[in-house]
Chain A
Amino acid sequence: MTAPGTTVVTGLGVAAPTGLGLDAYWRATLAGHNGIGRITRFDPSSYPARLAGEITGFNAEDHLPSRLLPQTDRMTRIALVSADWAFADAGVVPGELPDYDVGVITASHSGGFEFGQNELKALWSKGGQYVSAYQSFAWFYAVNSGQISIRNGLRGPSSVVVSDQAGGLDAVAQARRQIRKGTRLVISGAVDASICPWGWVAQLAGGRLSGGDDPGSAYLPFDERARGHVPGEGGALLVLEDAEHARARGAAKIYGEIAGYASTVDPKPGSGRIPGLHKAIELALADAGAEPAEIDVVFADAAGIPELDRVEAEAITAVFGAHGVPVTAPKTMTGRLYSGAAPLDLAAAFLSLRDGVIPPTIGSSAAADYRLDLVTDAPRPAVLRTALVLARGAGGFNSAMVVRGTPETH
C-alpha cells in the first residue's frame, strides 16, 4: 500500500534521438543504439563542435493541426506530441476530468530558441514590422506549459521552472507538491530542442561541448578520454497522479512512485566550499525515507567533463561506497537533452524497474580511480526496486530524485 499523498507515475511520453514513443525508445536503449550523429539541421563544419543527438522522422503535421505549426517552435511541437502520448499511455482523457483537477508543470532550458532566431533575423535584416505575431510567446520559457494546457484543456496549477539541465527534476518535484496539495493529476517533465546555429553558438560559449567527430567516442562520461558532451533534443513528459486517484479510476498501469527529491546549488567558485551534489543525494534519500543500501541503480548526470565527472563519482562513492551501486548513463546514446534529459532518465528508470534491467552506458569505460560500478556495453539484469536519478546544470544546480517501482506491476 502507498501512503496518502503518494505521487505515482501512470503514463510516459518520450521523444528521443533513439526513438519516438516509449517502446521504440526503450528497445533502442536496451539495444545500445547510438542516436548521435553529425548535425544535419545546418552545416556545422565551421563550428568547433559538429555532433548532436537529433530526432529524425518527426513530422509535426502528422500529429498536430496545421494552425499550430506557424505558432510553435520545434521543441513545442515535440512536447505537444509527447504529452499526447503520455496521456494515451496513462489511459487518461484529460478533458473528461473535472476542471482544475489537471495541471501542467514543465521545465525549460532556452525556450523556443530556433523560433527566436528566425524572428531576430527578420528584425535585424528586414525590420521590426517583419517580426511574427507569434514571437511574443512562441520562444519564451513558458510556452510548452501554455500550449499543453490549451491543447488538453488543463486548468489546474500550471508552472514552469528553469534550472539549466537540472530543471526537469525540479518540475516533477513541483508537480508532486501540487498533487500533495490536492491536484489529482499533473503532466510534468520537459522537452527541449535548440539545434540551430544561434543556439549552437550560445551552447558553444558554455565551453562544455565535445569537439569530437566520431559519434562513438565524442561523449564519454567517467572515461579517461572524456572531453565534453554532445547535446541532443527531446525529453519526456510524465503523467503524475495522486495514488488514490489512480487506483480509483482503475489506472491500467502504475510505473512507480516519486519517492524523494532534493536540490542544492553549488557555492560560488573560489569559495573553498564543496559542491552540493553529495548533499542533494543525502537529502533526497532522507526525503524518500531510504537508506543508501536500498538504491539499486543510479542514473547519473554524466557531464562528460573530467572535473564534473569526478565530483559526481565522489558524491556517489561517498554515499554508496566504492563500486557500491550500479551506475548508468543511457544519455550517452541520445546526447544531453538539456531540461529534457532528466525526465527521459526518469522514464528510463521506471522502465528499468518494470523490466528488471539496467540500460547500458555506451562507449565509456569508467576510469579506475572513479571507483564506480558503471554499467557498460550491454544491459544488466538485476532485481530493481528503487532508483536514484541525478541531474546537474551549469551554474551549479544539483537535483536528485528517488523513484520506486510498483511491485504488483512485475
Chain B
Amino acid sequence: MTAGERRRVVITGIGVTAPGGFGTKSFWDLLTDGRTATRRISLFDASTFRSQIAAEVDFDAELSGLTPQEIRRMDRAAQFAVVTAREAVADSGLEFAALDPYRTGVTIGSAVGATMSLDQEYRTVSDDGRLELVDYAYAVPHLYNHLVPSSFATEVAWAVGAEGPATVVSTGCTSGLDAIGYAAEILREGSADVMVAGATDAPISPITVACFDAIQATTPRNDDPAHASRPFDASRNGFVLGEGAAVFVLEELGRARARGAKIYAEVAGHASRSNAFHMTGLRPDGKEMAEAIRVALDEAGVNGTEIDYINAHGSGTKQNDRHETAAFKRSLGEHARRTPVSSIKSMVGHSLGAIGSIEVAASVLAITHDVVPPTANLPNPAPESDQAYVPLTARDHKTDVVLSVGSGFGGFQSAVVLTNPFRSGQ
C-alpha cells in the first residue's frame, strides 16, 4: 500500500477522567472556564514532603459502575482506565458486542503502572520496611496484577470484549501520545478494525512524590495550590503531579463513515524520537522534539503553517519551556510565534503517562468546538517564552489542525497531529 492509499484513522468516541470533574463534558468545562484542579494532596498525608500538592480526581469507584470484585483486583489507574473506556465506548455509539472480537484491540499507555497499590502493598508485606524478606502471607491475592501493568490492557479488553492485539505502552510521560500512535499503526496496517486506545496513571502516592522531591522536579508552592502549576510563567518552579485517564475509540475512516459515526478528528500523524541525552534532562535546542514534529506532520501530510493550535507539553519547569520553545521554532519557524499554544497542565496537572491522552482529548475537543483552551496561571510569561500562550481565558478560534507534543523521562519526544478530516480542501 502506498502512502496515498493508506487507511485513515479517526476518533469516534471519547472518555475522560480528569481532575476537577467527571467525564468528558466536565473536563471540557473546566478547561474552557480556565479553572484549576490543583490542591493540597488528600490521598495521603503529604505534610512531610517538599511538594504537597497535586491535581486529584474525586473518584468513587462504586458510583463509577465498578463491581466490588473489579475494585478489589484493580489498581486505581486500572479503575480509571476501565471506567473511561466505558465512557468512550458509549460515546462512540458502536455496538461492541456485534464486532469481531479478534478485530478489536486495546492499547493503554501508563508510565508508572500500579504505583499506588505497589507502594501500599510493600508497606504491608515489609511491615514498613522492617522486613527485608517480605512476608508472603500478607500479600493481597491480586498483587501480580499490580506487578505487571499489562493488566490494565487486559481489564479494558475484558470490559469492551476485545480479543485482538492488546498491550500497554510505557514510554514515561509520552505514553499517552505513543499509545494512540501505536493503536493508529495497528489500524493502518490492517491488524484490527477498531482500537480502544488511551492512557491512565494514578501516581499520587508517597513513593512518587518522594522521587520527584529528590530531583526537585515538582513545585514546592504549597501555600497556593490553585496557582501552583505555572507553565511558561516567569515564576514557574516545577510541575504539579496529576492523575486521570483518557480513552478513545479509534476506527478506520471509511468504516466510521459507513456506520454514520460521529467523527471527532483524524489521528493523522504520530512520531517519537529520543534525545539520547539524559534520563531526566532536556537539551535546550529541542532538536529531537523538532524532528518528531517534522515526521508527524509529514505522516499527516500537513504543512506546519496549517497548524491552528499547539497543545504544549508545558509541564511548568524551566528546562521544559526552553526546550519546547526551541523545538517549536526549529520545526515551525515563524508560524510557531503566530499559533495559539497552551498547556492544560496548568489546570489538570501532570498525570505522567496519562496526560498525553488527556491532552489529545483537549485537542480533539478544540477541533470539535473551535475553542482553544487557555494556559491558566500565566500572568507574566518568562522572557524566553515568547509564543501566543492563550493566557487565563479560552479563546474562540477556528481549529482544524492541532499539534500535541510531549517529553518524557528516558529522553522520549513525541508528537501527534490531529485534524478535522472534513476541513475545507479535504
Expressed in whole angstroms, the Cα–Cα distance for A174 and B191 within the complex equals 13
Check A47/B136 contact, CB under 8 A, given A158-B274, A163-B168, A164-B150.
yes
Indicate whether B111 reaches chain A with its CB closer than 8 angstroms. yes
Q: Is A67 part of the binding interface, using a Cβ–Cβ cutoff of 8 Å? A: no
Contacts of B172 in A (CB 8 A): 137, 140, 142, 146
Query: Could you say which of B182, B191, B209, B412 contacts A158, with CB atoms under 8 Å apart?
Result: B412
The answer to the question of B233 belonging to the interface, with a C-beta cut-off of 8 Å to chain A, is no
What 1/0 flags go to B121-158 for Cβ under 8 Å of A?
A: 11101101110111110011111111111110110011
In angstroms, how far is the closest chain B Cβ from the Cβ of A298? 21
Whether the pair B169, A136 counts as a contact (CB closer than 8 A) is no
Question: Which of B149, B157, B189 contacts A141, CB < 8 Å?
Answer: B149
Contacts of A46 in B (CB 8 A): 133, 136
Query: Across the two chains, which residue of chain A brings its CB closest to B133?
Result: A197
Contact A132 B214 (CB under 8 A): yes
Does chain A have a CB within 8 A of B213?
Answer: yes
Contact B163 A395 (CB under 8 A): no
Q: How many residues of B contact A (CB 8 A)?
A: 85
A133 near B: Cβ within 8 Å? yes
Q: Pick the contact of B169 from A113, A160, A273, A395 — CB < 8 Å?
A: A160
Q: Please, which residue of chain B has its CB at the minimum distance from the CB of A152?
A: B276
Q: A140-B172, A142-B408 are in contact. Are A394 and B144 (CB under 8 A)?
A: yes
Task: Mark interface residues in B44-66 (1 if CB within 8 Å of A CB, else 0).
Answer: 00001100000000000000000
- Please state if B125 and A198 are interface contacts (CB–CB under 8 Å): yes
Closest residue of chain B to A49 (Cβ to Cβ) is B136
B122: which of A42, A117, A127 is its contact (CB, 8 Å)? A117
- Chain A residues contacting B149 (CB-CB under 8 Å) are 141, 162
**A123 in complex: contacting residue of B106, B207, B272, B275, CB < 8 Å:** B207
Chain A residues whose C-beta falls within 8 Å of the C-beta of B388 in the assembled complex: none
Chain B interface main SS type: mixed
Q: How large is the interface on A (under 10, 10 to 19, 20 to 34, 35 or more residues)?
A: 35 or more
Cα A99 to Cα B275 with chains together (Å): 10
- Could you tell me if B129 and A124 are in contact, using CB atoms closer than 8 angstroms? yes
Mark interface residues in B154-182 (1 if CB within 8 Å of A CB, else 0). 10011001111111111110010010001
Is B21 on the interface with A (CB-CB < 8 A)?
A: no
Q: Which of B178, B189, B215, B271 has a CB less than 8 Å from the CB of A136? A: B215
> Which of B277-285, B308-316, B379-387, B394-402 is the contact stretch?
B277-285
Most chain B CB atoms below 10 A, which of A71, A147, A204, A206: A206
Q: Please tell me if the beta carbons of A264 and B118 are within 8 angstroms of each other in the complex.
A: no
B window 195-231: CB within 8 A of A: 206-207, 209-215, 217
On whether A155 and B273 interact (CB within 8 A), knowing A137-B410, A201-B134, the answer reads yes
Residues of A within 8 A of B277 (CB): 150
CB distance from B42 to the nearest CB of A (A): 18
Contact indicator B148/A164 (Cβ below 8 Å): yes
**Least Cβ distance of A157 to chain B in Å?**
6
Q: Residue-by-residue, is A114-142 near B (CB-CB < 8 Å gives 1, otherwise 0)? A: 00110111111111110111011100111
The residue from B161, B191, B214, B273 contacting A262, defined by CB atoms under 8 A apart: B191
**Residues of B close to A125: CB separation below 8 A:** 128-130
Is residue B405 contacting chain A, with contact meaning CB distance below 8 A?
Answer: no
Closest to B181 in A: A159
Known A141-B170, A149-B274, A162-B168: A268·B158 in contact at CB below 8 Å: yes
A100 CB–B CB distance under 8 Å: yes
**Chain A nearest CB: distance from B169 CB in Å?**
6
Closest to B410 in A: A146
Say yes or no: B147 contacts A137, CB within 8 Å: no
B28 at the interface (CB under 8 A from A): no
User: Is B113's CB within 8 Å of the partner chain A?
Assistant: yes
Determine the distance from Cα of A323 to Cα of B141 in the docked complex, in whole angstroms.
Answer: 38
Given contacts A119-B207, A141-B170, A264-B163, contact A393 B150 (CB under 8 A): yes
The docked-state distance in angstroms from the alpha carbon of A142 to that of B110 is 10
Indicate whether B185 reaches chain A with its CB closer than 8 angstroms.
yes
Most chain B CB atoms below 10 A, which of A268, A273, A279: A268
B214 → chain A, closest Cβ, in Å? 4
Cβ contact within 8 Å between A395 and B151: yes
Q: Does A292 contact B (CB under 8 A)?
A: no
CB distance from B156 to the nearest CB of A (A): 10
Which A residues are CB-close (under 8 A) to B123? 120, 124
Cβ of A161 and Cβ of B129 under 8 Å apart?
no
Task: Please report the C-alpha to C-alpha distance between residue A131 and residue B212 in the assembled complex, in whole angstroms.
Answer: 10
CB of B171, distance to nearest CB on chain A (Å)? 5
CB contacts (< 8 Å) of A129 on chain B: these are: 210, 213-214
Interface-side segment among A104-112, A250-258, A311-319, A370-378: A104-112
Distance in angstroms from A6 CB to nearest chain B CB is 15
Residues on A with C-beta less than 8 A from B279 are 71, 137, 143, 146-147, 150
Query: Roughly how many angstroms separate A204 CA and B138 CA in the complex, as a whole number?
Result: 12
Closest to B191 in A: A262
Interface presence of A240 (CB below 8 A):
no
Other-chain contact of A202, B101, B143, B291 (Cβ < 8 Å)? B143
Asked whether B288 is an interface residue with its Cβ less than 8 Å from the other chain, the reply is yes
Interface centre among B102, B136, B213, B274 (most CB of A within 10 A): B274
- A136: chain B residues at CB < 8 Å are 211-212, 214-215, 217, 280, 409
Q: Which 9 A-B pairs have the closest CB atoms?
A: A146-B410, A125-B129, A395-B154, A206-B144, A205-B143, A141-B170, A128-B210, A202-B147, A265-B166
Q: List 14 A-B contacts (CB under 8 A).
A: A124-B122, A140-B409, A149-B274, A157-B272, A158-B274, A159-B182, A162-B113, A198-B126, A201-B143, A263-B164, A265-B164, A265-B165, A394-B148, A397-B150
Q: Which residues of A contact B (CB under 8 A)?
A: 42-43, 46-48, 71, 99-100, 103-104, 108-111, 113, 116-117, 119-129, 131-133, 135-137, 140-143, 145-147, 149-150, 152-164, 167, 170, 174, 177, 197-199, 201-207, 262-268, 273, 276, 279, 283, 393-397
B binding-site residues for A, Cβ under 8 Å: 48-49, 101-102, 106, 111-113, 118-119, 121-123, 125-126, 128-130, 132-136, 139-151, 153-154, 157-158, 161-172, 175, 178, 182, 185, 189, 191, 206-207, 209-215, 217, 271-280, 288, 291, 408-412
Contacts A42-B133, A157-B273 aside, 12 further interface pairs with beta carbons under 8 A come to A124-B123, A131-B213, A136-B280, A137-B280, A137-B410, A140-B409, A146-B412, A150-B276, A197-B132, A396-B157, A397-B150, A397-B166
